[in-house]
Structure 1
Amino acid sequence: MARRRRKDRKKILERKKAIYVLPNLITTASLFAGFYSIVSAIDGQFVTAAWAIMASLVLDGLDGKVARATGSQSRFGVEYDSLSDLVAFGVAPALLAFFWALQPVGRLGWLAAFLFVACGALRLARFNVQVEEVGTKHFVGLPIPAAACVIATSVMFVDQLGYPGPVTEWPVVVMVFVLSFLMVSNIHYLSFKELGIAKLKSFNWLVATLLLFILVAVQPKIMFFLVLATYVVLGPLGAALMAKKRAKAKEDALAAKKSKETKDQVDVSGQSNAKEEAAEQLS
Protein backbone atom coordinates (compact mmCIF):
# COMPACT_ATOMS: atom_id res chain seq x y z
CA MET A 1 0.00 0.00 0.00
CA ALA A 2 2.79 2.43 0.93
CA ARG A 3 4.69 1.46 -2.24
CA ARG A 4 1.60 2.18 -4.33
CA ARG A 5 1.22 5.60 -2.71
CA ARG A 6 4.87 6.38 -3.44
CA LYS A 7 4.34 5.41 -7.08
CA ASP A 8 1.24 7.58 -7.33
CA ARG A 9 3.07 10.49 -5.74
CA LYS A 10 5.97 9.99 -8.14
CA LYS A 11 3.59 9.99 -11.12
CA ILE A 12 1.98 13.23 -9.91
CA LEU A 13 5.40 14.89 -9.53
CA GLU A 14 6.45 13.72 -12.99
CA ARG A 15 3.19 15.06 -14.43
CA LYS A 16 3.73 18.43 -12.74
CA LYS A 17 7.29 18.58 -14.08
CA ALA A 18 6.00 17.80 -17.57
CA ILE A 19 3.39 20.54 -17.29
CA TYR A 20 6.02 23.07 -16.17
CA VAL A 21 8.29 22.05 -19.04
CA LEU A 22 5.58 22.55 -21.70
CA PRO A 23 5.22 26.37 -21.56
CA ASN A 24 8.99 26.77 -21.29
CA LEU A 25 9.43 24.57 -24.36
CA ILE A 26 7.09 26.91 -26.24
CA THR A 27 9.15 29.88 -25.00
CA THR A 28 12.27 28.10 -26.25
CA ALA A 29 10.61 27.65 -29.64
CA SER A 30 9.89 31.39 -29.69
CA LEU A 31 13.54 32.06 -28.84
CA PHE A 32 14.62 29.73 -31.64
CA ALA A 33 12.39 31.60 -34.11
CA GLY A 34 14.03 34.86 -33.06
CA PHE A 35 17.50 33.38 -33.46
CA TYR A 36 16.57 31.98 -36.87
CA SER A 37 15.36 35.44 -37.86
CA ILE A 38 18.80 36.85 -36.97
CA VAL A 39 20.58 34.20 -39.05
CA SER A 40 18.22 34.78 -42.00
CA ALA A 41 18.72 38.55 -41.83
CA ILE A 42 22.51 38.12 -41.87
CA ASP A 43 22.15 35.85 -44.92
CA GLY A 44 20.07 38.50 -46.69
CA GLN A 45 16.81 36.49 -46.53
CA PHE A 46 14.79 39.36 -45.16
CA VAL A 47 11.29 38.04 -45.84
CA THR A 48 12.15 34.73 -44.15
CA ALA A 49 13.51 36.67 -41.17
CA ALA A 50 10.28 38.67 -41.02
CA TRP A 51 8.14 35.53 -41.04
CA ALA A 52 10.29 34.06 -38.25
CA ILE A 53 9.51 37.11 -36.08
CA MET A 54 5.79 36.64 -36.80
CA ALA A 55 6.09 32.97 -35.80
CA SER A 56 7.78 34.06 -32.58
CA LEU A 57 4.82 36.38 -31.92
CA VAL A 58 2.39 33.45 -32.15
CA LEU A 59 4.53 31.29 -29.86
CA ASP A 60 4.96 34.15 -27.38
CA GLY A 61 1.20 34.47 -27.04
CA LEU A 62 0.79 30.71 -26.78
CA ASP A 63 3.23 30.02 -23.94
CA GLY A 64 1.41 32.31 -21.51
CA LYS A 65 -1.98 30.83 -22.36
CA VAL A 66 -0.65 27.29 -21.88
CA ALA A 67 0.92 28.25 -18.55
CA ARG A 68 -2.36 29.77 -17.29
CA ALA A 69 -4.46 26.88 -18.61
CA THR A 70 -2.28 24.24 -16.92
CA GLY A 71 -1.68 26.25 -13.75
CA SER A 72 2.07 26.12 -14.36
CA GLN A 73 2.87 29.83 -14.03
CA SER A 74 6.17 30.49 -12.30
CA ARG A 75 8.64 33.30 -11.71
CA PHE A 76 11.19 31.37 -13.73
CA GLY A 77 8.81 31.26 -16.70
CA VAL A 78 8.21 35.02 -16.49
CA GLU A 79 11.93 35.83 -16.47
CA TYR A 80 12.70 33.32 -19.21
CA ASP A 81 9.90 34.75 -21.34
CA SER A 82 11.31 38.28 -20.95
CA LEU A 83 14.78 37.17 -22.01
CA SER A 84 13.31 35.34 -24.99
CA ASP A 85 11.28 38.43 -25.94
CA LEU A 86 14.42 40.59 -25.85
CA VAL A 87 16.08 38.33 -28.42
CA ALA A 88 13.03 37.64 -30.61
CA PHE A 89 11.47 41.13 -30.51
CA GLY A 90 14.47 43.29 -29.67
CA VAL A 91 17.68 41.99 -31.25
CA ALA A 92 16.10 40.16 -34.20
CA PRO A 93 14.03 43.07 -35.62
CA ALA A 94 16.86 45.54 -34.94
CA LEU A 95 19.30 43.45 -36.98
CA LEU A 96 16.64 42.85 -39.62
CA ALA A 97 16.13 46.60 -40.00
CA PHE A 98 19.90 47.19 -40.04
CA PHE A 99 20.76 44.66 -42.74
CA TRP A 100 17.61 45.46 -44.71
CA ALA A 101 17.82 49.25 -44.87
CA LEU A 102 19.98 50.91 -42.19
CA GLN A 103 23.43 49.65 -43.16
CA PRO A 104 24.04 52.27 -45.88
CA VAL A 105 23.48 55.07 -43.32
CA GLY A 106 26.60 54.00 -41.43
CA ARG A 107 26.95 54.98 -37.78
CA LEU A 108 23.43 56.38 -37.53
CA GLY A 109 22.08 53.08 -38.82
CA TRP A 110 23.65 50.83 -36.21
CA LEU A 111 22.95 53.41 -33.48
CA ALA A 112 19.27 53.39 -34.46
CA ALA A 113 19.29 49.58 -34.31
CA PHE A 114 20.94 49.66 -30.87
CA LEU A 115 18.44 52.25 -29.66
CA PHE A 116 15.62 49.90 -30.62
CA VAL A 117 17.20 47.07 -28.60
CA ALA A 118 17.86 49.30 -25.58
CA CYS A 119 14.33 50.76 -25.56
CA GLY A 120 12.92 47.26 -25.95
CA ALA A 121 14.89 46.08 -22.91
CA LEU A 122 13.70 49.09 -20.89
CA ARG A 123 10.13 48.41 -22.01
CA LEU A 124 10.30 44.79 -20.84
CA ALA A 125 11.89 45.76 -17.51
CA ARG A 126 9.23 48.40 -16.87
CA PHE A 127 6.46 45.96 -17.78
CA ASN A 128 7.75 43.36 -15.30
CA VAL A 129 7.89 45.98 -12.54
CA GLN A 130 4.53 47.68 -13.24
CA VAL A 131 2.41 44.71 -14.31
CA GLU A 132 0.69 44.43 -10.90
CA GLU A 133 0.18 48.20 -10.55
CA VAL A 134 -1.02 48.97 -14.08
CA GLY A 135 -3.06 45.81 -14.64
CA THR A 136 -3.75 44.06 -17.92
CA LYS A 137 -6.45 46.29 -19.47
CA HIS A 138 -3.86 48.43 -21.23
CA PHE A 139 -0.13 48.67 -21.82
CA VAL A 140 2.00 51.67 -20.84
CA GLY A 141 4.07 52.25 -23.95
CA LEU A 142 4.02 50.32 -27.21
CA PRO A 143 4.51 46.58 -26.51
CA ILE A 144 7.82 45.30 -27.84
CA PRO A 145 6.19 42.47 -29.87
CA ALA A 146 4.06 45.05 -31.71
CA ALA A 147 7.11 47.22 -32.44
CA ALA A 148 9.04 44.21 -33.71
CA CYS A 149 6.19 43.09 -35.93
CA VAL A 150 5.86 46.57 -37.45
CA ILE A 151 9.43 46.20 -38.71
CA ALA A 152 8.78 42.63 -39.86
CA THR A 153 5.56 43.49 -41.69
CA SER A 154 7.24 46.52 -43.27
CA VAL A 155 9.67 44.11 -44.93
CA MET A 156 6.73 41.97 -46.08
CA PHE A 157 4.80 44.99 -47.29
CA VAL A 158 7.67 46.28 -49.43
CA ASP A 159 8.28 42.77 -50.77
CA GLN A 160 4.61 42.39 -51.70
CA LEU A 161 4.65 45.70 -53.55
CA GLY A 162 7.64 44.49 -55.54
CA TYR A 163 9.72 47.58 -54.80
CA PRO A 164 12.66 47.58 -57.24
CA GLY A 165 16.19 48.24 -56.07
CA PRO A 166 17.44 48.93 -52.53
CA VAL A 167 15.05 50.21 -49.88
CA THR A 168 15.12 53.94 -49.13
CA GLU A 169 16.84 54.08 -45.75
CA TRP A 170 15.62 57.36 -44.24
CA PRO A 171 11.94 56.37 -43.79
CA VAL A 172 13.17 53.22 -42.02
CA VAL A 173 15.47 55.29 -39.80
CA VAL A 174 12.53 57.49 -38.80
CA MET A 175 10.34 54.44 -38.22
CA VAL A 176 12.90 52.81 -35.92
CA PHE A 177 13.36 56.01 -33.90
CA VAL A 178 9.59 56.50 -33.57
CA LEU A 179 9.02 52.89 -32.51
CA SER A 180 11.83 53.17 -29.95
CA PHE A 181 10.30 56.32 -28.48
CA LEU A 182 6.81 54.81 -28.34
CA MET A 183 8.07 51.76 -26.44
CA VAL A 184 9.41 53.86 -23.55
CA SER A 185 6.65 56.47 -23.66
CA ASN A 186 3.72 56.71 -21.24
CA ILE A 187 1.14 56.40 -24.03
CA HIS A 188 -1.51 53.80 -23.27
CA TYR A 189 -2.11 51.01 -25.76
CA LEU A 190 -5.07 48.69 -25.71
CA SER A 191 -4.52 45.19 -24.35
CA PHE A 192 -6.66 42.39 -25.72
CA LYS A 193 -6.20 40.14 -22.69
CA GLU A 194 -9.43 41.12 -20.92
CA LEU A 195 -11.67 41.90 -23.87
CA GLY A 196 -13.18 38.41 -23.70
CA ILE A 197 -13.33 38.03 -27.48
CA ALA A 198 -13.76 34.29 -27.15
CA LYS A 199 -16.89 34.84 -25.02
CA LEU A 200 -18.61 37.28 -27.39
CA LYS A 201 -21.89 35.96 -28.72
CA SER A 202 -22.82 38.80 -31.07
CA PHE A 203 -23.52 37.83 -34.67
CA ASN A 204 -22.00 41.13 -35.85
CA TRP A 205 -18.69 40.26 -34.19
CA LEU A 206 -18.72 36.90 -35.97
CA VAL A 207 -19.27 38.56 -39.36
CA ALA A 208 -16.59 41.19 -38.68
CA THR A 209 -14.08 38.52 -37.64
CA LEU A 210 -14.88 36.46 -40.73
CA LEU A 211 -14.39 39.47 -43.03
CA LEU A 212 -11.09 40.36 -41.34
CA PHE A 213 -9.90 36.76 -41.73
CA ILE A 214 -10.76 36.79 -45.45
CA LEU A 215 -8.94 40.10 -45.99
CA VAL A 216 -5.85 38.82 -44.20
CA ALA A 217 -5.96 35.54 -46.13
CA VAL A 218 -6.17 37.36 -49.50
CA GLN A 219 -3.23 39.72 -48.85
CA PRO A 220 -1.53 38.65 -45.59
CA LYS A 221 1.62 40.74 -46.04
CA ILE A 222 -0.29 43.95 -46.73
CA MET A 223 -3.04 43.38 -44.15
CA PHE A 224 -0.62 42.48 -41.34
CA PHE A 225 1.23 45.74 -41.97
CA LEU A 226 -1.95 47.83 -42.11
CA VAL A 227 -3.40 46.29 -38.94
CA LEU A 228 -0.20 46.80 -36.95
CA ALA A 229 0.36 50.31 -38.32
CA THR A 230 -3.19 51.21 -37.29
CA TYR A 231 -2.57 49.84 -33.79
CA VAL A 232 0.62 51.91 -33.46
CA VAL A 233 -1.05 55.12 -34.67
CA LEU A 234 -4.10 54.68 -32.42
CA GLY A 235 -1.92 55.05 -29.31
CA PRO A 236 -0.75 58.66 -29.89
CA LEU A 237 -4.11 59.53 -31.46
CA GLY A 238 -5.99 58.29 -28.41
CA ALA A 239 -3.55 60.12 -26.11
CA ALA A 240 -4.12 63.37 -28.04
CA LEU A 241 -7.89 62.96 -27.86
CA MET A 242 -7.75 62.23 -24.13
CA ALA A 243 -5.53 65.27 -23.54
CA LYS A 244 -7.97 67.42 -25.49
CA LYS A 245 -10.88 65.97 -23.52
CA ARG A 246 -9.12 66.63 -20.20
CA ALA A 247 -8.29 70.21 -21.26
CA LYS A 248 -11.94 70.81 -22.20
CA ALA A 249 -13.13 69.35 -18.90
CA LYS A 250 -10.67 71.62 -17.07
CA GLU A 251 -11.93 74.65 -19.00
CA ASP A 252 -15.53 73.72 -18.24
CA ALA A 253 -14.69 73.34 -14.56
CA LEU A 254 -12.99 76.76 -14.48
CA ALA A 255 -15.92 78.32 -16.33
CA ALA A 256 -18.37 76.75 -13.89
CA LYS A 257 -16.27 78.00 -10.97
CA LYS A 258 -16.17 81.55 -12.38
CA SER A 259 -19.90 81.45 -13.04
CA LYS A 260 -20.54 80.37 -9.47
CA GLU A 261 -18.26 83.10 -8.10
CA THR A 262 -20.04 85.71 -10.25
CA LYS A 263 -23.41 84.46 -9.07
CA ASP A 264 -22.29 84.61 -5.45
CA GLN A 265 -21.04 88.17 -5.95
CA VAL A 266 -24.38 89.15 -7.50
CA ASP A 267 -26.22 87.58 -4.58
CA VAL A 268 -24.02 89.38 -2.06
CA SER A 269 -24.47 92.68 -3.92
CA GLY A 270 -28.23 92.14 -4.05
CA GLN A 271 -28.37 91.46 -0.33
CA SER A 272 -26.32 94.60 0.37
CA ASN A 273 -28.65 96.72 -1.77
CA ALA A 274 -31.68 95.26 -0.02
CA LYS A 275 -30.19 96.09 3.38
CA GLU A 276 -29.41 99.65 2.28
CA GLU A 277 -32.99 100.15 0.98
CA ALA A 278 -34.40 98.77 4.23
CA ALA A 279 -32.18 101.13 6.22
CA GLU A 280 -33.33 104.14 4.14
CA GLN A 281 -36.98 103.24 4.66
CA LEU A 282 -36.52 103.01 8.42
CA SER A 283 -34.78 106.36 8.51
Structure 2
Amino acid sequence: MTRKTTTDSRRRGIYLLPNLFTTAALFSGFYAIVAAMHGRFEPAAIAIFVAMLLDGVDGRVARMTNTQSDFGAEYDSLSDMVSFGLAPSLVIYEWALSDLGKLGWLAAFIYTATAALRLARFNTQVEHADKRYFQGLASPSAAAIIAGSVWVGETYEMVPGQLSYLAWGLTVVIGLLMVSNVRYYSFKTFNLRDKVPFVAILVIVLILVLVSSNPPVVLFSVFFAYALSGPVLTLVQLRQRRAERDQAHRHPDEKDEQDLENP
Protein backbone atom coordinates (compact mmCIF):
# COMPACT_ATOMS: atom_id res chain seq x y z
CA MET A 1 0.00 0.00 0.00
CA THR A 2 2.79 2.41 0.93
CA ARG A 3 4.79 1.40 -2.13
CA LYS A 4 1.82 2.11 -4.43
CA THR A 5 1.22 5.54 -2.91
CA THR A 6 4.88 6.44 -3.37
CA THR A 7 4.79 5.34 -6.99
CA ASP A 8 1.62 7.36 -7.69
CA SER A 9 3.10 10.51 -6.14
CA ARG A 10 6.21 10.15 -8.30
CA ARG A 11 4.16 9.73 -11.45
CA ARG A 12 2.03 12.76 -10.81
CA GLY A 13 4.71 15.40 -11.43
CA ILE A 14 3.64 18.77 -12.81
CA TYR A 15 2.29 19.93 -16.15
CA LEU A 16 5.06 21.57 -18.15
CA LEU A 17 3.30 23.82 -20.66
CA PRO A 18 1.24 26.16 -18.44
CA ASN A 19 3.99 26.32 -15.82
CA LEU A 20 6.47 27.42 -18.49
CA PHE A 21 4.33 30.52 -19.07
CA THR A 22 4.06 31.08 -15.31
CA THR A 23 7.85 30.81 -15.00
CA ALA A 24 8.29 33.28 -17.84
CA ALA A 25 5.93 35.71 -16.07
CA LEU A 26 7.92 35.26 -12.85
CA PHE A 27 11.14 35.93 -14.73
CA SER A 28 9.67 39.13 -16.21
CA GLY A 29 8.76 40.38 -12.74
CA PHE A 30 12.22 39.52 -11.43
CA TYR A 31 13.85 41.24 -14.41
CA ALA A 32 11.78 44.38 -13.73
CA ILE A 33 13.22 44.54 -10.20
CA VAL A 34 16.81 44.05 -11.40
CA ALA A 35 16.41 46.62 -14.19
CA ALA A 36 15.01 49.20 -11.74
CA MET A 37 17.96 48.61 -9.39
CA HIS A 38 20.26 49.57 -12.27
CA GLY A 39 18.24 52.65 -13.20
CA ARG A 40 16.75 51.14 -16.38
CA PHE A 41 13.15 52.09 -15.66
CA GLU A 42 11.63 51.87 -19.13
CA PRO A 43 12.64 48.20 -19.62
CA ALA A 44 11.48 47.55 -16.05
CA ALA A 45 8.02 48.93 -16.78
CA ILE A 46 7.78 47.04 -20.06
CA ALA A 47 8.76 43.80 -18.29
CA ILE A 48 5.76 44.17 -15.96
CA PHE A 49 3.43 44.46 -18.96
CA VAL A 50 5.08 41.37 -20.46
CA ALA A 51 4.41 39.55 -17.19
CA MET A 52 0.75 40.60 -17.47
CA LEU A 53 0.52 39.12 -20.95
CA LEU A 54 2.12 35.86 -19.88
CA ASP A 55 -0.06 35.67 -16.77
CA GLY A 56 -3.15 35.93 -18.94
CA VAL A 57 -1.89 33.17 -21.22
CA ASP A 58 -0.92 30.51 -18.68
CA GLY A 59 -4.43 30.08 -17.28
CA ARG A 60 -6.01 29.90 -20.72
CA VAL A 61 -3.42 27.37 -21.87
CA ALA A 62 -4.11 25.23 -18.80
CA ARG A 63 -7.86 25.28 -19.47
CA MET A 64 -7.50 24.63 -23.21
CA THR A 65 -5.11 21.70 -22.70
CA ASN A 66 -6.91 20.40 -19.59
CA THR A 67 -3.70 20.70 -17.56
CA GLN A 68 -5.09 22.57 -14.55
CA SER A 69 -3.71 21.57 -11.15
CA ASP A 70 -3.49 22.77 -7.56
CA PHE A 71 0.26 23.16 -8.00
CA GLY A 72 -0.25 25.40 -11.03
CA ALA A 73 -2.75 27.57 -9.16
CA GLU A 74 -0.38 28.03 -6.19
CA TYR A 75 2.61 28.66 -8.44
CA ASP A 76 0.66 31.24 -10.43
CA SER A 77 -0.33 33.05 -7.24
CA LEU A 78 3.29 33.21 -6.04
CA SER A 79 4.36 34.47 -9.47
CA ASP A 80 1.67 37.15 -9.32
CA MET A 81 2.98 38.30 -5.94
CA VAL A 82 6.43 38.90 -7.40
CA SER A 83 5.36 40.35 -10.76
CA PHE A 84 2.39 42.45 -9.61
CA GLY A 85 3.15 43.01 -5.93
CA LEU A 86 6.89 43.37 -5.37
CA ALA A 87 8.03 44.47 -8.84
CA PRO A 88 5.73 47.50 -9.32
CA SER A 89 6.32 48.80 -5.79
CA LEU A 90 10.11 48.52 -6.08
CA VAL A 91 10.15 50.02 -9.58
CA ILE A 92 8.20 53.12 -8.57
CA TYR A 93 10.15 53.33 -5.31
CA GLU A 94 13.46 53.43 -7.16
CA TRP A 95 12.04 55.86 -9.73
CA ALA A 96 10.27 58.48 -7.60
CA LEU A 97 9.60 57.44 -4.00
CA SER A 98 13.15 57.00 -2.69
CA ASP A 99 13.56 60.78 -2.41
CA LEU A 100 10.78 60.85 0.22
CA GLY A 101 12.69 58.72 2.71
CA LYS A 102 10.46 56.87 5.15
CA LEU A 103 7.28 58.09 3.44
CA GLY A 104 8.50 56.60 0.19
CA TRP A 105 9.20 53.09 1.40
CA LEU A 106 6.02 53.10 3.49
CA ALA A 107 3.98 53.77 0.35
CA ALA A 108 5.84 51.00 -1.48
CA PHE A 109 5.17 48.61 1.41
CA ILE A 110 1.48 49.55 1.51
CA TYR A 111 1.20 48.60 -2.15
CA THR A 112 3.09 45.33 -1.60
CA ALA A 113 1.02 44.37 1.44
CA THR A 114 -2.31 45.18 -0.23
CA ALA A 115 -1.30 43.15 -3.28
CA ALA A 116 -0.59 40.17 -1.01
CA LEU A 117 -3.91 40.64 0.80
CA ARG A 118 -5.73 40.97 -2.53
CA LEU A 119 -4.26 37.71 -3.81
CA ALA A 120 -5.01 35.88 -0.55
CA ARG A 121 -8.62 37.07 -0.56
CA PHE A 122 -9.05 36.10 -4.20
CA ASN A 123 -7.67 32.59 -3.58
CA THR A 124 -10.06 32.00 -0.69
CA GLN A 125 -13.14 33.32 -2.50
CA VAL A 126 -12.51 32.02 -6.02
CA GLU A 127 -14.87 29.04 -5.66
CA HIS A 128 -18.01 30.97 -4.68
CA ALA A 129 -17.34 34.47 -6.03
CA ASP A 130 -19.38 36.04 -8.83
CA LYS A 131 -17.20 35.43 -11.88
CA ARG A 132 -18.59 38.51 -13.63
CA TYR A 133 -16.92 40.86 -11.16
CA PHE A 134 -13.71 41.27 -9.17
CA GLN A 135 -13.93 42.43 -5.58
CA GLY A 136 -11.28 45.12 -5.53
CA LEU A 137 -8.91 46.11 -8.31
CA ALA A 138 -7.08 43.06 -9.70
CA SER A 139 -3.34 43.07 -9.02
CA PRO A 140 -2.32 42.91 -12.73
CA SER A 141 -4.39 46.03 -13.47
CA ALA A 142 -2.92 47.78 -10.43
CA ALA A 143 0.58 46.85 -11.58
CA ALA A 144 -0.19 48.18 -15.06
CA ILE A 145 -1.11 51.59 -13.63
CA ILE A 146 2.06 51.82 -11.53
CA ALA A 147 4.32 50.55 -14.32
CA GLY A 148 2.49 52.69 -16.90
CA SER A 149 3.08 55.85 -14.88
CA VAL A 150 6.81 55.11 -14.76
CA TRP A 151 6.88 54.31 -18.47
CA VAL A 152 5.10 57.58 -19.32
CA GLY A 153 7.50 59.52 -17.09
CA GLU A 154 10.54 57.97 -18.72
CA THR A 155 9.18 58.44 -22.24
CA TYR A 156 8.60 62.16 -21.73
CA GLU A 157 11.77 62.59 -19.65
CA MET A 158 9.95 63.86 -16.57
CA VAL A 159 11.98 64.60 -13.46
CA PRO A 160 11.02 61.91 -10.89
CA GLY A 161 11.89 64.15 -7.94
CA GLN A 162 9.22 66.63 -8.99
CA LEU A 163 6.60 63.86 -9.12
CA SER A 164 7.42 62.18 -5.80
CA TYR A 165 4.25 63.20 -3.96
CA LEU A 166 2.07 62.50 -6.97
CA ALA A 167 3.65 59.04 -7.29
CA TRP A 168 3.16 58.54 -3.53
CA GLY A 169 -0.55 59.31 -3.75
CA LEU A 170 -1.02 57.10 -6.82
CA THR A 171 0.78 54.17 -5.18
CA VAL A 172 -1.25 54.35 -1.97
CA VAL A 173 -4.63 54.86 -3.67
CA ILE A 174 -4.10 52.02 -6.15
CA GLY A 175 -2.99 49.77 -3.30
CA LEU A 176 -6.10 50.55 -1.26
CA LEU A 177 -8.33 49.93 -4.28
CA MET A 178 -6.99 46.37 -4.43
CA VAL A 179 -8.33 45.56 -0.95
CA SER A 180 -11.52 47.61 -1.24
CA ASN A 181 -15.02 46.22 -1.77
CA VAL A 182 -15.32 48.14 -5.04
CA ARG A 183 -16.55 45.88 -7.84
CA TYR A 184 -14.82 45.68 -11.21
CA TYR A 185 -16.09 43.95 -14.32
CA SER A 186 -13.88 40.88 -14.84
CA PHE A 187 -14.50 40.19 -18.58
CA LYS A 188 -14.44 36.45 -17.70
CA THR A 189 -17.82 35.94 -19.34
CA PHE A 190 -16.31 36.99 -22.66
CA ASN A 191 -15.87 33.80 -24.72
CA LEU A 192 -13.33 33.90 -27.55
CA ARG A 193 -15.01 30.90 -29.17
CA ASP A 194 -18.33 32.69 -29.70
CA LYS A 195 -19.16 34.24 -33.05
CA VAL A 196 -18.87 38.02 -33.22
CA PRO A 197 -19.93 40.58 -35.85
CA PHE A 198 -17.41 41.36 -38.57
CA VAL A 199 -17.05 44.90 -37.24
CA ALA A 200 -15.54 43.47 -34.02
CA ILE A 201 -12.40 42.49 -35.96
CA LEU A 202 -12.14 46.05 -37.26
CA VAL A 203 -12.43 47.39 -33.71
CA ILE A 204 -9.60 45.07 -32.59
CA VAL A 205 -7.40 46.32 -35.43
CA LEU A 206 -8.11 49.94 -34.47
CA ILE A 207 -7.25 49.19 -30.84
CA LEU A 208 -3.93 47.63 -31.87
CA VAL A 209 -3.13 50.66 -34.04
CA LEU A 210 -4.02 53.00 -31.18
CA VAL A 211 -1.82 51.12 -28.71
CA SER A 212 1.12 50.96 -31.12
CA SER A 213 0.90 54.71 -31.79
CA ASN A 214 1.87 55.54 -28.19
CA PRO A 215 2.05 52.43 -25.96
CA PRO A 216 2.89 54.04 -22.60
CA VAL A 217 0.21 56.74 -22.75
CA VAL A 218 -2.50 54.50 -24.21
CA LEU A 219 -1.89 51.59 -21.83
CA PHE A 220 -1.69 53.84 -18.78
CA SER A 221 -4.87 55.69 -19.82
CA VAL A 222 -6.80 52.46 -20.45
CA PHE A 223 -5.92 50.88 -17.11
CA PHE A 224 -6.40 54.15 -15.23
CA ALA A 225 -9.87 54.47 -16.76
CA TYR A 226 -10.55 50.86 -15.71
CA ALA A 227 -9.53 51.73 -12.15
CA LEU A 228 -12.02 54.62 -12.19
CA SER A 229 -14.76 52.40 -13.63
CA GLY A 230 -14.96 50.37 -10.41
CA PRO A 231 -16.12 53.19 -8.10
CA VAL A 232 -18.52 54.41 -10.80
CA LEU A 233 -20.00 50.91 -11.26
CA THR A 234 -20.29 50.47 -7.49
CA LEU A 235 -22.08 53.79 -7.04
CA VAL A 236 -24.51 52.99 -9.85
CA GLN A 237 -25.31 49.58 -8.37
CA LEU A 238 -25.78 51.06 -4.88
CA ARG A 239 -28.19 53.64 -6.28
CA GLN A 240 -30.15 50.93 -8.09
CA ARG A 241 -30.40 48.82 -4.93
CA ARG A 242 -31.52 51.83 -2.91
CA ALA A 243 -34.20 52.63 -5.48
CA GLU A 244 -35.43 49.02 -5.44
CA ARG A 245 -35.48 49.00 -1.65
CA ASP A 246 -37.43 52.27 -1.54
CA GLN A 247 -39.84 50.87 -4.12
CA ALA A 248 -40.40 47.75 -2.02
CA HIS A 249 -41.00 49.69 1.20
CA ARG A 250 -43.38 52.26 -0.21
CA HIS A 251 -46.93 52.41 1.15
CA PRO A 252 -49.49 50.59 -1.07
CA ASP A 253 -51.53 53.81 -1.44
CA GLU A 254 -48.45 55.62 -2.79
CA LYS A 255 -47.94 52.82 -5.34
CA ASP A 256 -51.55 53.11 -6.49
CA GLU A 257 -51.23 56.91 -6.87
CA GLN A 258 -48.07 56.54 -8.90
CA ASP A 259 -49.70 53.91 -11.10
CA LEU A 260 -52.59 56.32 -11.77
CA GLU A 261 -50.18 59.13 -12.60
CA ASN A 262 -48.11 56.89 -14.88
CA PRO A 263 -50.58 54.48 -16.52
TM range (shorter): 0.7 to 0.9
- The separation in 2 between residues aligned to 1:171 and 1:125, in whole angstroms, is 28
1:63 aligned onto 2:58: yes
Aligned pair partner of 2:184 in 165, 180, 189: 189
Q: What is aligned with 1:109? A: 104
Match of 1:277 in 2: none
CA drift of 1:46 comes to 0.8
Shift of 1:178: 0.9
- 1:244 is aligned to 2:239: yes
Q: Deviations over 1:39-96 (max 9, x none)?
A: 1111111111101111111111111111111111110110111011101110000101
Shift in Å, 1:193: 2.2
The answer to whether the 8 A contact 2:153-2:160 is kept is: no
Report what 1:215 is aligned to.
Answer: 210
What's the secondary structure of 1:189's corresponding residue?
strand
SS where residue 134 of structure 2 aligns?
strand
Q: Which amino acid aligns with 1:152?
A: A
* Aligned residue number for residue 203 of structure 1: 198
- Listed as ranges, the matches of 1:254-269 within 5 Å are 254-257=249-252, 259=254
Does residue 192 of structure 2 align to residue 168 of structure 1?
no
Specify the alignment match of 1:149 in structure 2: 144
1:94 maps to 2:94: no
Instruction: Decide whether the 8 Å contact of 1:90 with 1:144 is kept in 2.
Output: yes
Task: Report the counterpart of residue 36 of structure 1 in structure 2.
Answer: 31
Q: Distance in 1 between matches of 2:142 and 2:156?
A: 21
Instruction: Give the SS at the match of 2:184.
Output: strand
Residue deviations 1:134-191, cap 9 Å, x none?
1422211110011011111111122233325634111111111111111011111111
With over 3 angstroms needed to count, the CA separation of the structure-2 counterparts of 1:219 and 1:233, relative to structure 1, is same
For 1:84, the aligned partner's letter is S
Question: Which one has a larger percent helix, Structure 1 or Structure 2?
Answer: 1
Contact 2:135 2:181 (C-alpha < 8 Å) held by counterparts? yes
Task: Specify the code of the residue in structure 1 equivalent to 2:250.
Answer: A
Distance in 2 separating the partners of 1:156 and 1:189: 24
Task: Say whether the 8 Å CA contact 2:96–2:160 is kept in structure 1.
Answer: no
Larger radius of gyration: 1
Structure 2's unaligned 5+ residue stretches are: 1-9, 259-263
Identity over aligned pairs, percent: 42
C-alpha separation in 2, matches of 1:99 and 1:164: 13
Q: Partner residue of 1:274?
A: none
- How far did residue 258 of structure 1 move? 5.7
Partner of 2:261: none
TM-score normalized with structure 2 length: 0.88
2:43 maps to 1:48: yes
- Who is 2:224 aligned against? 229
One-letter amino acid of the structure 2 residue matched with residue 246 of structure 1: R
Q: CA RMSD in A?
A: 2.2
After TM superposition, give the deviation of residue 256 of structure 1 in Å: 4.8
Secondary structure at 1:134 match in 2: coil
Unaligned stretches of 5+ in structure 1?
A: 1-12, 264-283
Aligned-partner Cα distance in 2 for 1:28–1:239 = 35
Match of 2:4 in 1: none
Q: Secondary structure at the match of 2:42?
A: helix
TM-score by length of 1: 0.82
Name whichever of 191-200 and 229-238 sits farther off: 191-200
Give the match for residue 278 of structure 1.
none
